[in-house]
Structure 1
């Protein structure tokens, strides 16, 4: 049942689009609220103030479809996004049964994406690794005052380090949030990119560093899996002098995500505190144990 404020926004957007909401169910609540609608449609309700990002994500999806890059598809013939109370709602084709991609599948998808010629009629913009981080820290009401002060200071340090990012591979089209949950494999063997709101022009290492973190920081994949990822992609980001900076940035983003979800999901507070303690060096050197997905999956 659509009884909360987000449900009311969804009802209004669906009415404008001529879509039904009976039987709608929530699939996920994190940066966005994702609903499954009748007729094989998925609706995405963004946070307030994200109209431009939602519009660009729709445009990116249409561009990727036009060049044959497997990615989530928008519902055609609907002017998107539909904005209700400053919240953008977009409508997508429901995926067939799928699973998270393996390291080699992620590597293959990224290699194909990074080889694309940027669109001439769509401004993808430049990667911003700091988007929403200040806001997440401010809104993380479960964070202690000491931890909040430390996070602000660490963020300022990361911003300074970013200005000295060393040269690496040529900048290209990047996904922007290429963890395995955003690269999925269908039962038919198609590898599909999801969550395109961070797609932009940037260092390709930003996309490959997440898999390196799963190996080097979290020990969630084996050395063999990571080597297979590097072999398929054709480059090992950990051998680059900019690796530690991108690693630290991605770990910081992952930590602020946990702090954000802890505000509405009390069970995630321990995870947020754990990640902050890791960044602060209180739990020893990497690899760190105890990191689990948030929100619960």
Structure 2
């Protein structure tokens, strides 16, 4: 493939992803043969076959802009011996290559046991108690990421774009009126079970794109919304409540956080709607029910 530069505004096709994987492996001495694409939504994630390494390619402007933050948070957590994924040592990260942003991670082997709400609750309790978060963590501004996704959608109907823009305005106004009950501080920012890996030495946390300083209620909302909206096999929210000690759904501001979380779940794949056609059917289902204010129809995870 003769590509030398991949325009970040043009989206990432699977061909481009494999080109980038080969290029970063060539520059770092890794072997891309047999690598498996295990995720392709707002980021693309490859698991190498020849070494216990995960390659993460930012799939949107928002993800590219936050890659440096992700690296700083990961190193800070490692300094606290916090159970989280670790950067692959020996390289300056993030790696900027052909207009894209890439990070390299040590693979955490999955155990057969699925992580549950108790695992995530324990991780969050420990995270929320860590002293002295790294300097320069951004304040919680959840609409910034959503609006950036709306600025670079692939094949989004103008009417849907206008609706989602109005949603951003309305949710932002509602958020400004909330009175949070828990102390403000370090938050993970996207605390759902998909960001917990049941490693051989115990569960570890991953994906720090949304980490910053904000309301702790936001870290409790994803699992609660997942129980209400997504077709998950178990009641992880009940375990979260038991082991964290707070039921966010009992707080009067929860409906606003639910609306925000669902807006993020609808818009998360906008930058790859054309590049990754496998997500299109589920996105259309989510968009249709979200727009109809249907709060009962279940959603499936993006595959």
C-alpha distance 208-48 of structure 1, shift in aligned 2 (>3 A): closer
In structure 2, what is the equivalent of residue 249 of structure 1?
260
Among residues 203, 210, 216, which one is paired with 2:215 in the alignment? 203
In structure 1, what is the equivalent of residue 8 of structure 2?
none
Distance 1:243 1:48 in 2: 28
1:14 equivalent in alignment to 2:22: no
In structure 2, what is the equivalent of residue 102 of structure 1?
116
Distance 2:100 2:69 in 1: 14
SS in 2 for 1:65: helix
Among residues 27, 32, 35, which one is paired with 1:24 in the alignment? 35
Pairing 1:176-255 to 2, within 5 Å after superposition: 176-188=189-201, 190-218=202-230, 220=232, 225-255=236-266
C-alpha distance 267-29 of structure 1, shift in aligned 2 (>3 A): closer
TM-score scaled by length of structure 1? 0.87
C-alpha distance 218-28 of structure 1, shift in aligned 2 (>3 A): closer
| Per-residue deviation, 1:19 | 2.9
C-alpha distance 68-145 of structure 1, shift in aligned 2 (>3 A): same
CA contact (8 A) 1:183 1:193 kept: yes
C-alpha distance 219-14 of structure 1, shift in aligned 2 (>3 A): closer
* Greater relative CO (CA pairs within 8 A, separation 6+): 2
C-alpha distance 218-84 of structure 1, shift in aligned 2 (>3 A): closer
1:71 equivalent in alignment to 2:79: no
1:279 equivalent in alignment to 2:283: no
Distance 1:268 1:241 in 2: 33
C-alpha distance 127-139 of structure 1, shift in aligned 2 (>3 A): same
In structure 2, what is the equivalent of residue 288 of structure 1?
297
| Per-residue deviation, 1:221 | 5.9
Distance 1:258 1:4 in 2: 18
Pairing 1:154-169 to 2, within 5 Å after superposition: 154-169=167-182
In structure 1, what is the equivalent of residue 277 of structure 2?
266
TM-score scaled by length of structure 2? 0.85
Count of residue pairs the alignment pairs up: 289
| Per-residue deviation, 1:159 | 1.5
Pairing 1:74-93 to 2, within 5 Å after superposition: 74-93=87-106
Taking only aligned residues, the RMSD between alpha carbons, in angstroms, comes to 2.5
SS in 2 for 1:69: coil
Distance 1:146 1:94 in 2: 42
| Per-residue deviation, 1:17 | 2.7
Distance 1:174 1:137 in 2: 24
C-alpha distance 115-292 of structure 1, shift in aligned 2 (>3 A): same
Deviation per residue, 1:235-257 (Å, 9 max, x gap): 11112122111111000000112
| Per-residue deviation, 1:132 | 2.9
Which runs of 5 or more residues in structure 1 are unaligned? Answer: none
Distance 1:77 1:267 in 2: 35
